[in-house]
Amino acid sequence: MTTISNNDTLFARAQKTTPGGVNSPVRAFRSVGGTPRFITRADGPYFWDADDKRYIDYIGSWGPAIVGHAHPQVVKAVQEAATRGLSFGAPTEGEVLMAEEICRLVPSIEQVRLVSSGTEATMSALRLARGATGRDKIVKFEGCYHGHADSLLVKAGSGLLTFGNPTSAGVPEDFVKHTLVLDYNNVQQLEDAFANMGGEIACVIVEPVAGNMNLIKASPEFLQAMRRLCTAHGAILIFDEVMCGFRVALGGAQQVYGIVPDLTALGKVIGGGLPVAAFGGSAKLMSHMAPLGAVYQAGTLSGNPVAVAAGMTTLKLIQEDGFYERLGASARRLADGLTAAAKEAGVVFCADAIGGMFGLYFSATPPNNYAEMMAGDRERFNVFFHHMLDEGVYFAPAAYEAGFVSAQHDDAVIDATIEAARRVFKKLAA
């Protein structure tokens, strides 16, 4: 048997049997260059790679690890659930408890269906919106990612109000001709779209806090206009809170902005690191789902008992007193500390945070939409990324991604990160 010694060896082997060596593209370091780190274990705010180098982890599995890695209570719940059996293909009490908890924490959700990935959640929410309205057209925003369902892998067409182009090979033009792609935070474009074709729009889907074009906050006016226009034209408003749900606040972005969507997609945090996602809304809307209604959706592992045990324990832990205050303070301390360190070094940089999410920008001000985000200095980010990696700090390996803190990122961890960044910004300025 070959002994695996380091990241390079593993990456070379992985590329022989797995496309690009990874099971999800961003992990391949394509954007930043270099060898991806193969992770062997994690604890609290840290993980270790195959060379046993320790990193402060700021991706947290891209969101789920909100209570920190390998939290003893989550691990115990998973172990206990596993001893009772891994999957039954029949309902369990855990699913009832989880549905009740989600409905209690997110008041716009009266009924919820559990699935296994965010992609399934948004794809099913879209089908429900189309099934319930009897309309085909959907509106999404440039730079928002909603998983890899065909109708959502679309970028803007050549002209405003023309339908989109596929962003992936293998997505038929026919599928995306129903998807209209507008600019994030642009109220006028939304008004125009509804004025032109309001009666044909099944739904608007949005990340109310965008985390897939770095971190970009929606303006309140943008989300308010969306709510108003959807209601006026009989379209369904879908908040994709797969990333920002239970992340920017206990009640998600809809609580922060005080806006009630018709449907919400959830994922990441609600599985606590195992595959659980969900979509839900009013009981009336959800009654269109099979077996009650005509909109079909199903899953062999939906509501998996081990995954639900991890998710439920995580949902309990995030309800501890002061959890979001502490989480938000950590992300803010990081954003402000990094901004100050860059300023000292004279590097054009800023950072922002909301709840336990943050964005790092190599631009003078935070971007408001996809085009502004793309105008940032990506080369500089890549150099920063690699120096930070050498310092033992793992940020998302692409300039287009948001970052995440966990409840285990205490002041000492954050301050160590800022100290490392201070050294790195000096190198960048030199």
Catalytically active residues, by annotation? 145, 240, 268
Token digits of residue 240 = 């994709």
User: 284: alpha, beta or left, given left = phi > 0 and alpha = psi -120 to 50?
Assistant: alpha
Quick one: how far is CA 31 from the chain centroid? 18
CB 203 within 8 A of CB 139: yes
57, 142, 183, 207: residue in contact with ligand PMP (rule CB under 6 A): 207
CB 254 within 8 A of CB 208: yes
Token digits of residue 52 = 């046993």
**CA-closest candidate to residue 147, choices 243, 259, 230, 35:** 243
Does residue 209 bind ligand PMP (CB under 6 A)? Answer: no
Calpha distance 306→98 (Å, rounded) = 12
User: In this chain, which stretch among 105-113, 236-244, 348-356, 411-419 interacts with ligand PMP, using CB under 6 A?
Assistant: 236-244
Using CB under 6 A as the binding rule, the residues of this chain from 57 to 96 that contact ligand PMP are 62
Calpha distance 301→290 (Å, rounded) = 17
122, 133, 151, 189: residue in contact with ligand PMP (rule CB under 6 A): 122
The string over 88-124, giving b where at least 16 C-beta atoms fall within 10 Å of a residue's C-beta and e elsewhere, is: eeeebebbeebbebbbebbebbebbbbbbbbbbbbbb
Give whole-number Cα distances, 52 to 8, 38, 315, 341, in Å: 13, 10, 31, 29
Does residue 124 bind ligand PMP (CB under 6 A)? Answer: no
User: In this chain, which stretch among 142-150, 302-310, 371-379, 420-428 interacts with ligand PMP, using CB under 6 A?
Assistant: 142-150
118, 252, 261, 273: residue in contact with ligand PMP (rule CB under 6 A): 118
7, 111, 119, 330: residue in contact with ligand PMP (rule CB under 6 A): 119
In the complex, what is the shortest distance from the CB of residue 122 to ligand PMP, in angstroms, rounded to a whole number? 5
Residue with smaller CB distance to ligand PMP, 179 or 339: 179
CB-hemisphere CA count at 13 Å for 219?
12
Using CB under 6 A as the binding rule, the residues of this chain from 271 to 310 that contact ligand PMP are 277
In the complex, what is the shortest distance from the CB of residue 152 to ligand PMP, in angstroms, rounded to a whole number? 9
Residue with smaller CB distance to ligand PMP, 59 or 81: 59
In the complex, what is the shortest distance from the CB of residue 375 to ligand PMP, in angstroms, rounded to a whole number? 22
49, 57, 95, 240: residue in contact with ligand PMP (rule CB under 6 A): 240
- Residue of minimal CB distance from ligand PMP? 118
Q: Could you give phi then psi for residue 201, rounded to 5 degrees?
A: -85, 120
For ligand PMP, what does the binding mask look like between residues 321 and 360, x meaning CB under 6 A? ----------------------------------------
Q: Which residues contact 302 (CB under 8 A, 6 or more apart)?
A: 113, 114, 115, 116
In the complex, what is the shortest distance from the CB of residue 121 to ligand PMP, in angstroms, rounded to a whole number? 7
Measured over the CA atoms of residue 297, residue 131, residue 268 and residue 259, the dihedral's sign is negative
Residue with smaller CB distance to ligand PMP, 212 or 369: 212
60, 64, 131, 211: residue in contact with ligand PMP (rule CB under 6 A): 211
61, 212, 297, 368: residue in contact with ligand PMP (rule CB under 6 A): 212
**CA-closest candidate to residue 94, choices 377, 407, 303, 320:** 303
Token digits of residue 303 = 């509501």
Residue with smaller CB distance to ligand PMP, 49 or 240: 240
Quick one: how far is CA 83 from the chain centroid? 31
- The residue to which tokens 């399934």 are assigned: 120
58, 141, 145, 394: residue in contact with ligand PMP (rule CB under 6 A): 145
Strands 46-49 and 54-57: antiparallel
243, 334, 389, 393: residue in contact with ligand PMP (rule CB under 6 A): 243
Residue with smaller CB distance to ligand PMP, 147 or 376: 147
Calpha distance 76→155 (Å, rounded) = 43
Residues that bind ligand PMP (CB under 6 A): 62, 117-119, 122, 145-147, 207, 211-212, 240, 242-243, 267, 277
